[in-house]
Structure 1
């Protein structure tokens, strides 16, 4: 970029995190650490106004990394997701009564968020029928098969990670870092997109745009750098 771009939606991470409220529910993109908005997570960890957060994400990062940082800083009240055992801090916090956990099968949480963004109140699914995860849920039989009702998921805030944005806020993603991010962008009242690069309108291949700018409220520049295919904190 050889000139200053006009980016109305651009904010610093600190400005963006000020929009998050104490007790908020937050959708957070990422699978493991891939496609995780590290900069925004750091900004949350460094402030005290927004705590008691309910995070809806596939997992809670790794020990001390990604969402794992918010465990150590005590910002999380509850975690909703499908795979927490890769982070021993999450298991420890749950055992000590410091963190509520709600387990949802991975495909189910993906569909629940997609439904939330599409205005669908709920759907029936066979996954988890007859298990503890089905306890308390409405059950129906279709064509001789048992199904349980799963309610859609929405949140007040979504923190997503994309590769590039244009100055309007249209987003493209990098391969598998796309994961849960596009669907989460449709299922929140406030969407904060962390990106590696911002370009002029028209520079993105229109066929590659996954998240239209109408879904994006705030754009934040990533403060990490990629080394060997992995994002690390800048020295």
Structure 2
């Protein structure tokens, strides 16, 4: 497979299996996938990093498919776009895909409500305030790869799973995986990966495995998602 093929191949998988994908995703999950596809369609083709990140978010949107689904199995062998020349065909193919699977190019009126629902679910997870995080870091500012969720009612929230139960600095493997998941640009997507059942981990939530000598397993799952290897 050529380095730039992976982006369009992911989109082709969605087109070929769209009805099955729609059947196996909840309304919230499906609308989230459409939102990620629209963001990819709006990407600047020459901005390789932006295209790759948008593709990665689309891929994260397919994580909810059950183990054994043909799209989930095919993703294991797909490498995301890595060359500037691939940006234009990926963006063009995304526009074509959205035209194929939606009745209109504009986001549906309930897209904002769907996203808000996802964010509310993630904000219900145990979290630390910015002050509490600085306390654990001896007064230093939180590292950029730490997931920070903006709570309109309570200010910034840092999901608690990122830290050992007994206190102290965040898990190093969390910071490493958050970097892979581009948590600085998409903290909600990264938090969703940690807090959702993962077929590659036997249906377990990645966050539940922290501190259980599963660092290698977690890294493998993240690399499979991001790189398709």
Tell whether the structures are fold-level matches, with TM greater than 0.5: no
The answer to which structure has the higher helix fraction is 2
Q: TM-score, normalised by structure 1?
A: 0.28
